[in-house]
């Protein structure tokens, strides 16, 4: 459910805006999306894990807020990020 260092580094490198970028909104959304994906897989097999479900809902809400921030600041970056991550159809 958590991302190991190698996975985080790979996500950062593929979504960073500049060379030293580790915490931009794009990187945060990418890391949240990966964690959401892993947690969703976990919940498929552990239906009664309500604590993890609560954490999943919080992560989805945070990602939604970050995406709405990007959409307001730069709609083109929003569209590119959505396509790159593969969410929302």
CB atoms within 10 A of CB 53: 16
Condensed to tens digits (0 to 9), the pLDDT of residues 8-52 reads 899 888 888 888 888 899 999 999 999 999 999 999 999 999 999
User: Could you give the C-alpha distances from 54 to 28, 33, 49, 50, 58, in angstroms and in order?
Assistant: 19, 16, 9, 6, 6
Instruction: Please name each of the domains of the chain with its CATH number.
Output: 5-85 (1.10.287.10)
Output the pLDDT for position 73: 95
R_g of the chain computed on alpha carbons = 14
Q: Please state, in angstroms and rounded to a whole number, the distance separating the CA atoms of residues 82 and 17.
A: 15
Condensed to tens digits (0 to 9), the pLDDT of residues 57-77 reads 999 999 999 999 999 999 999
Residue 11 corresponds to which tokens in the numbers above? Answer: 């996500």
Nearest CA among 77, 74, 72 for reference residue 30: 77
């Amino acid at each position: 459910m958590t991302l190991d260092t190698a996975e985080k580094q790979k996500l950062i490198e593929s979504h960073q805006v500049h060379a030293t970028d580790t915490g931009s909104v794009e990187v945060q959304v990418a890391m949240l999306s990966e964690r959401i994906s892993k947690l969703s897989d976990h919940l498929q097999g552990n239906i009664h894990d309500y604590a993890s479900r609560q954490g999943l809902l919080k992560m989805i809400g945070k990602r939604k807020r970050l995406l709405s921030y990007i959409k307001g600041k730069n709609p083109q970056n929003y569209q590119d990020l959505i396509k790159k991550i593969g969410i929302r159809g």
